[in-house]
Copies of this chain bind each other. A is one copy, B any other.
Amino acid sequence: MIAPGFTGGTLDRADALRHDEAGLAALTSDWRSRLLRLDGFDPVLMGDGTLGWTTLADVPEGAELVLLGLDEAGRGHFAAYIPGMRAPPGRSPRLFGLLGQFAPGEAATYAAARSVLDWHSRHQYCANCGTQTALFRAGWGRRCPNCKAEHFPRVDPVVIMIAEHDGRALLGRQPAFPPGRYSALAGFLEPGESIEEAVAREIMEEAGVRVRDVRYIASQPWPFPSSLMVACVGMAENDTITLDTNELEDAIWVSREDVRTVLAGGDGPFLPPPAYAIAFTLLTAWAETE
């Protein structure tokens, strides 16, 4: 299977260092330590698709550091949370262009940094008592000075799936998609359900199709802002679509041959998702099986 987008990061997250004040202080005073270059929340990419880095000398006044991890040489890699920074709503066409240009593994490092910085930007206050919180654990949490509650970055599981019936896959089209694009259905997993149950519920809600025998295919982080995409295939009991038009503009059944053709760049009944999206991985895996 092709590696899903935003996976393959090479930094060691060094969890133990997050709890080790002396070790962390040694890293932040080490001239070899590196600071991730960002343009707001967007990555700064070198010509070869690697992430841009600078030194801790460039940490802005008032910023706080998030330890992303260590490289093989033991160098600390950090991102800076700058108070007041805020990701724009939606994603710019420029960002989408950059997502296709990452060298292998680099998008994973960016995904971790973006998700955690975005979380800090929207979680400055204690959800339990309303007091302003402070960063702790080298940026992998915030603590309330009043009620002592500890808060950790969110990871929101999202199921993304195709229903299969008679050798064809169900794809849907959201109104915001580029013209011609169809992709796997998707939705947030809710408290009190398994991955398999969320898959069945979402396909029923969005397309009115009942599935059984849900099988897991792959997963990826999706840092807009903090999803874990869990890709699955479910076997549909029939192919009658009842569309929820609040969610989808259209839904179609496509053959393996069609999927293979459009993934290879040929003309077909739809334009496929981009290679960094796990829907691409999912469709590729499905098209390769019989």
| Residue of A6, A128, A132, A192 with most chain B CB atoms under a 10 A cut-off | A192
So how many copies of this chain end up in the complex? 2
- Determine whether the beta carbon of A116 is less than 8 Å from that of B191: yes
Residues from chain B with Cβ under 8 Å of A45 in the complex: none
Task: Say which residue of B6, B129, B192, B216 sits within 8 Å of A221 (CB atoms).
Answer: B192
A290 on the interface (CB 8 Å rule)? Answer: no
- Determine whether the beta carbon of A112 is less than 8 Å from that of B151: no
A226 to B219, CA, bound (A): 20
Task: Say which residue of B9, B127, B149 sits within 8 Å of A151 (CB atoms).
Answer: B127
Decide: A130 near B128, CB < 8 A? Known: A7-B194, A191-B115, A221-B193.
no
- Determine whether the beta carbon of A112 is less than 8 Å from that of B190: yes
* Size category, A interface: 35 or more
A33 on the interface (CB 8 Å rule)? Answer: no
A171 on the interface (CB 8 Å rule)? Answer: no
A122 to B23, CA, bound (A): 33
A9 to B192, CA, bound (A): 9
- Determine whether the beta carbon of B131 is less than 8 Å from that of A190: no
A132 to B190, CA, bound (A): 23
A154 on the interface (CB 8 Å rule)? Answer: yes
A194 to B149, CA, bound (A): 27
Binds B, one of A91-99, A195-203, A258-266: A195-203
A108 on the interface (CB 8 Å rule)? Answer: yes
A183 on the interface (CB 8 Å rule)? Answer: no
Q: How far is the CB of A17 from chain B (nearest CB, A)?
A: 12
A230 on the interface (CB 8 Å rule)? Answer: yes
Beyond A125-B126, A130-B131, A153-B190, 4 additional contacts (C-beta under 8 Å) are A6-B194, A9-B193, A152-B156, A191-B226
- For residues 266 through 282 of chain A, which have their beta carbon under 8 Å from a beta carbon of chain B? none
Task: Say which residue of B109, B125, B151, B188 sits within 8 Å of A129 (CB atoms).
Answer: B125
- Determine whether the beta carbon of A205 is less than 8 Å from that of B15: yes
Q: How far is the CB of A210 from chain B (nearest CB, A)?
A: 12
- For residues 116 through 167 of chain A, which have their beta carbon under 8 Å from a beta carbon of chain B? 116, 119, 122-132, 140, 149, 151-157
Residues from chain B with Cβ under 8 Å of A49 in the complex: none
- Determine whether the beta carbon of A157 is less than 8 Å from that of B190: no
Residues from chain B with Cβ under 8 Å of A140 in the complex: 190
A189 on the interface (CB 8 Å rule)? Answer: yes
Decide: A155 near B190, CB < 8 A? Known: A127-B123, A129-B125.
yes
